[in-house]
Amino acid sequence: MRLPRSMAGWTMAVFGVLAIIMGATGLISPDSMLASLGFEVVPEAQRAAGDYTRVFILASSMASFNMGVYYLVSVWTEWRSFYLFTALFRLMTFTVFTLLVVTGEAPGRFFGVAAWEGIGAVATGIGLWLDRRHRVFSNP
C-alpha cells in the first residue's frame, strides 16, 4: 500500500485503520465493545429470548471493519469526492449520536462514538481545505 498523497488522505488513512481495529475488536470480543461504549453487559445465561444485542454489535463491528477498508481504498485511489462525502455524513452522524446521548437514548459514554465521528469529519475537512489551499489537488 502506498502512503497517502495529501493531508486529507492521511486523515482518511488514520481513521480507516482505526475503524478496522475497532471493527476487529468488536468481532473478536463483542462484550468488551459493549462495555467500552457504556452499555451493560448481560451474561449469556441471563439474556432474554430474542435479545440480539450481541448480533447487533457483531453486525456494527463488521460494518466498521468494512468502512475502514473503504477508507483505505479511497486513500489508495485519492478519491477526494469520497473524502468530502464522508466528512459531511460524519458530521450528520455526530449530530444524531449526540442527540441520542442528550435525549437519554444512549449512555453518556456513547458520546465517544459521536466525538469520533465529529473529530474525523473536522480533520478530513481541514485536510481538504489545506490541500486545496496548497494546491495539492485542484478538485475535492
Place of cell 437514548: 105
pLDDT at residue 134 above 90? no
Least confident of 5-14, 44-53, 99-108, 123-132: 44-53
Across residues 28-38, what is the average pLDDT? 90
**Cell output for 99:** 442527540
For residue 74, the model assigns a pLDDT of 95
Q: Give CA–CA dist 95/91, Å, rounded.
A: 6
Per-residue pLDDT band at 138 (split at 50, 70, 90): low
Q: Could you report the per-residue pLDDT of 54-109, keeping only the tens digit for each?
A: 899 999 999 999 999 999 999 999 999 999 999 999 999 999 999 999 999 998 98
pLDDT bin (cut points 50, 70, 90) of residue 27 is very high
Residue 125: C-alpha distances to residues 11, 29, 49, 85 (Å): 9, 32, 44, 10
Q: What is the mean pLDDT of residues 27-54?
A: 89
- How many Cα atoms are found within 13 Å in the side-chain-facing hemisphere of 71? 26
